[in-house]
Amino acid sequence: MDELASGQQVSDSLFPGLPSAHTGRTVSIAFILRDRPVRFTRELMRRVTIGAVAILALSWAMSASAEGEFFKDRGPYMSLLLTGSEPDGPKPTSDTDLSGFSGLGLAGSIGYRWLPLRVELEYGSNTTAWIGGTEDEIAVRALTLNAIMEFQLLDWLGIYFGAGLGRANVTANFSTCLQPSGCLTPIVANTSGSASAQQLQLGVTFGSPKEWQMLLGFRRFTTGSLGLTYNQGQPFAVDNADANMSFVGVRANF
């Protein structure tokens, strides 16, 4: 009985407000996440990003005494990426369907490498629009500081992973009913906001890390709450920007 009570106390501390085990009702993961999926996603992304940055810094510190030729390579670099995105937010209502949105953008960065670590400052601009040709669109501009770990598998092939933290400005324009069930009242939004931003990325490189490289990869990008509104003051149901992004680009190592 003592073990059961102890387990109940742990459960209550982790998930306050949930039905108690003493009531005999079953608690499921779906119940835990049902009332706050957006906040859970943002908080999880923030913690994973901060953890990834910490792991990258630790990995660099552990490698700082390495004497291999690969680690000795250092110097500035520049990169330019062509990005494609599919957004999950922001959305005026929870029923707003963004599956028809697709976008393109550019991201440029300057940085310095102490291989296998790269640190860079990146500015990116990406606009996603409704494929059907309406005026609905989401535009994201972000400035992030990225930390990247890169490892060569062959002379011409490498892999990398990284994380970034920064600030983003998001503009959302909606004038079309994008709810499958229809809209009882028109949804009109021409709004913008700024918030913290974070991203995780994974990719491959083609070419020498001391010269020119081609980059191919994937990113998950998200922001904090933006304070967006529609119909003269109604808050967005999904008030943060979330997007899956693929990219291809080039990097010049000096």
**Higher-confidence position of 136 and 184:** 136
Which tokens sit at 185?
A: 């009242």
Q: How many CB atoms lie within 10 A of CB 222?
A: 23
Q: pLDDT at position 22, please?
A: 42
Q: Is residue 57 in some structural domain?
A: yes
- To the question of pTM greater than 0.85 for the whole model, the response is no
Q: Which amino acid is at 29?
A: I
Most confident of 55-59, 161-165, 186-190: 161-165
Q: Is residue 174 in some structural domain?
A: yes
**136 falls in which pLDDT band (50, 70, 90)?**
confident
Q: What is the radius of gyration, based on Cα positions, of the chain? A: 22
What contacts 158, CB < 8 A, 6 or more positions away? 150, 151, 152, 204, 205, 209, 213
CA 27 – CA 16 distance, rounded (Å): 12
Q: How many structural domains is the chain composed of?
A: 1
Rounded to 5 degrees, what are φ and ψ at 24?
A: 85, 5
Q: Is residue 74 in some structural domain?
A: yes
Q: Is residue 8 in some structural domain?
A: no
Q: Is residue 12 in some structural domain?
A: no
CB 65 within 8 A of CB 211: no
Q: Is residue 90 in some structural domain?
A: yes
- Domain of residue 226: give its range: 28-253
Rounded to 5 degrees, what are φ and ψ at 220?
A: -120, 120
CA 134 – CA 154 distance, rounded (Å): 47
Q: pLDDT at position 11, please?
A: 45
Question: 109 - beta bridge partners?
Answer: 79, 122
Q: Is the pLDDT at 61 greater than 60, yes or no? A: no
CA 241 – CA 198 distance, rounded (Å): 10
Q: pLDDT at position 117, please?
A: 92
Q: What is the CATH number of the domain that holds 34?
A: 2.40.160.20
Q: Is residue 7 in some structural domain?
A: no
Q: Is residue 68 in some structural domain?
A: yes
Q: pLDDT at position 183, please?
A: 77
Q: How many CB atoms lie within 10 A of CB 210?
A: 15
Burial label for 211, CB within 10 Å (0-12, 13-18, 19+), is exposed
